[in-house]
Structure 1
């Protein structure tokens, strides 16, 4: 497979949504349509700190990597959180996932980022084999507290 990694384009929306839906199924998650639409719009906004790179095989988008650049307290250069990485199940093991990570690392080196980091479920053995080839997991445990959305009718 000859994968090319590039920035997402407006014409990629249908392909990205197909993959996004597969990603949500994999994680047994739901995201409201309004959030999905907003996310895609932010990918195309050069002022947004969120970005998306896609892996393309020929004309077909086969994977994506979304990332968020942010400041941190332990570094003076930007940090890059690789928030979502997904490759079409039909091409897993082909190198598309590695190409997406390598691409993000190259972007970071060129831009002077301090680090790229990500997390996954402990049970995600397939992805962890790839991730561990870069560096072993840090041992950090992630805690997450979801906050209720403000009640618009109360305003």
Structure 2
């Protein structure tokens, strides 16, 4: 297995995985937003970072993260916003490897921390995430401004 930065030629495969990810969460993201997200990921703009996982030469998963400043630290914090592994590749340790990859990058680059969230009922993801940390007791609030 190989985990690496996404490159422009990954776009068709990433888009397929991205659409499967959005379908899983029953989310509708306009094409304009998807195109702009890909552009920002490839250019590493706005603190965005895309890592892809390959198994036997096939791109089968990704992690999308946002590096940002924090008020409780002097070094960047990484928010793992999206992580997805194609269903046919699950159970092979790819999700765990994608998280471990970010942990390694964070240690190498001097990030102060890594955090993420998932749906309470997403037991597949939680079984991976619980290997790294236990869920805390914070409650998330969301307010749309559009």
Counterpart of 2:51 in structure 1 is 53
Task: State the alpha-carbon separation in 2 of the partners of residues 84 and 47 from structure 1.
Answer: 17
Alignment counterpart, residue 18 of structure 2, candidates 17, 20, 25: 20
- Structure with bigger gyration radius: 1
**Shift in Å, 1:93:** 1.1
> Which residue in 1 is equivalent to 2:65?
67
The yes-or-no answer on 1:37 pairing with 2:35 is: yes
Structure 2: 5+ residue stretches without partners: none
Q: Provide the TM-score with structure 1 as the length reference.
A: 0.92
Q: Match of 1:44, SS?
A: helix
Distance 1:15 1:139 in 2: 36
Unaligned runs of 5+ in 1: 149-155
- Corresponding residue for 1:152? none
**TM-score, normalised relative to structure 2:** 0.97
How many residues are paired up?
146
Runs of 4+ in 1 over 6 A off after TM superposition: none
Q: How far apart in 1 are the matches of 2:45 and 2:35?
A: 17
Kindly state the Cα deviation for residue 22 of structure 1 after the two structures are TM-superposed. 0.5
| Deviations, residues 93-136 of structure 1 (Å, cap 9, x unaligned) | 10110110000110000000000000000010111011011111
